[in-house]
Structure 1
């Protein structure tokens, strides 16, 4: 039986984006299966009393330099979103609606690219429509699915369940019951999967 790495994420987190860019290759190397669990990072912060790193100015400035270092190491584009922090309620509902569908990876890629490669204000319906359409996705379908009560309930339940498991930020990854926080812990995740 292959191992599974669970990726608990919100597209509004630049560190979760950086981790996501590495997970497919890691899963290929280890034969692991990737399980995506969308959550609302703001809900996790509220429930745990945690704050984003930028809430401490010196930590926020350091984090900007560190994000650039990791983007260079991973050889990926990372452009800070000028609208940051972006309300990701609708994007994360769209991701939640896509779980279990063949379009899941395309949806996540389109949203991450629009947040961290070609930044835009993903809290705006017009921008979501444009981003999804340009990715070849049926924007009307995904926006409609995101408005479904079952999708809203699932995202809320995912967030609450993550908090109960000890999650306090994103990205958080689980291999079995072992929790790893942060994109800078991927080496430990890969060791756990090997």
Structure 2
């Protein structure tokens, strides 16, 4: 049996959202399962000195346009949130709890968030 595709994502990331909407179908086409790993990009940014694309000069406006363009290309509904970025630590905690306590429902739970 092939190993699962490890999918690391932040709930606040538009690219994470797009990937979450498509990864199960992609994995299925290739005879694979997925292992979802919610993470906090804010912690990564803090450790590396990085910041979200939307807060970087010259990348901010482009990235917002690219989120919309990518969603349209893949047929994934997308709208820019009124508040962005958002804190996702509680969302991650709830997702990890679901994975531990109710693994059969965890992916659906995460997709609904």
Q: Residues of 1 paired with 2:51 and 2:58: CA distance?
A: 14
Larger radius of gyration: 1
2:112: which partner in 1?
110
Bigger RCO (CA 8 Å, 6+ sep)? 1
Deviations 1:16-41 (A, max 9, x none): 00111110111110011101111111
- Structure 2 alignment gaps of length 5 or more: none
Rounded to whole Å, the distance in 2 between the matches of 1:91 and 1:58 is 30
| Alignment TM-score, normalising by the size of structure 2 | 0.91
Structure 1 runs not aligned, ≥5 long: 112-194
Q: Give the TM-score taking structure 1 as reference length.
A: 0.55
Residue number in structure 2 paired with 1:32: 32
> How far apart are 1:10 and its partner, in Å?
1.1
CA distance in 1, matches of 2:57, 2:80: 16
Query: What is the Cα deviation at residue 57 of structure 1?
Result: 3.5
Give the total of aligned pairs: 111
Query: Quick one: distance in 1 between partners of 2:17 and 2:49?
Result: 23
Cα RMSD between the aligned structures? 1.2
